[in-house]
Structure 1
Amino acid sequence: MSDKETKEQVSRVSISLPPAILRELDAMVAEKGYASRSQAVQSILHQELLASHHDHEDELMAGVILLFYNNAATGLQQKLAELQYQNLAEVISSLHVNLIRRQTLEVLLVQGKVGKLQEITNHLVTLSGVISGRLHLIASLIPPVHEKGRPPPLEIDTP
């Protein structure tokens, strides 16, 4: 696609800002390394538009649930694992990193209806021992993990 075609797909808007906010915007542009004010404003708007999707409970989206917890809390890791297993259709993958002072950072890659993802997040973050957590959605979907029409693998009996 040529530069001309790209520019034709972009709409120009104008905003008026008080001097104090403009100074803060310029400082943020410099600090974060944005190429321009426009790029910074696009990024901010994108984040706010994604946040508004939290109100659309039936919309399918992908995202991450970030959890920060005390791994010494009795039974917490088992409860977290059980909740993830109960929501196997939405929890695609998880990664946990052990930090200092018996703390853990866990990242869950999730996909599903926004309402269900928020419900899962609420269950996880309210467990005793979880210090903080949040759901961050992205405006895209993960390709299907399982092939359509192909039966799931056989269950393996565990002792």
Structure 2
Amino acid sequence: MDELVRFGISMKESLLEKFDDSIVNKGYSNRSEAIRDLIRNRLVENEWEDEEKEVAGTVTLVYDHHTSGLSDKLNSIQHNVHHLFLSTTHIHLDHHNCLEVLVVKGKVEKVRNIAERLIGVKGVKHGKLTITSTGKDLD
């Protein structure tokens, strides 16, 4: 286990007050934990820049399932790279609209590429890729 290191940070009082208000609203018990999370978040973002790094994430899609052939197209894209998909949840939002959440894991380049292909299918009303770390390199 790594040893804890203490260090100081200098900033304007007004910025610190805003930070303190923010961490209280988010439920942090102290500044140290909030700062650790900010640092971890930046390290995760750095992982996204390395196309060969393995990441996990979700692709969220909203679409009208009555759109002709749309479900088949989405399924076909997923089947072609089935190893990237860990899980899929399909929810009927109303009579027409469906929400699909696809859990993905793979190299950044492949995850981004497949997400863009799914989101770009004609008939998808909205799509979003959210990438996070696999946690292997975070402490």
So what's the TM-score if we normalise by structure 2?
A: 0.81
**Larger radius of gyration, structure 1 or 2?**
1
CA distance 1:70–1:47, change in 2 (3 Å): farther
Amino acid at match of 1:99: L
> Which residue does the alignment assign to 2:44?
50
What is the CA deviation profile of residues 93-132 of structure 1, one whole-angstrom value per residue up to 9, with x for unaligned ones? 1112222473333221211111111111111122232313
RMSD of aligned residue pairs (Cα, Å): 2.2
Q: 1:79 to 1:36 in 2, by over 3 A?
A: same
Kindly tell me the number of residue pairs found equivalent between the two proteins.
135
Unaligned 5+ runs, structure 2: none
CA contact (8 A) 1:50 1:139 kept: no
User: Which amino acid is the alignment partner of residue 13 of structure 1?
Assistant: F
- Is the 1:90–1:111 Cα contact (8 Å) retained in structure 2? yes
Look up the equivalent residue of 1:75 and give its one-letter code: G
Q: Which has the higher strand share?
A: 2
Higher relative contact order (CA 8 A, sep 6+): 2
TM-score, length basis structure 1: 0.72
What are the Cα deviations for residues 51-99 of structure 1, in whole angstroms up to 9, with x where unaligned? 1211111122322223333434433222221111111111121112222
> Structure 1 stretches of 5 or more lacking a match?
1-5, 142-159
Q: Contact (CA 8 Å) 2:54, 2:107: kept in 1 or not? A: yes
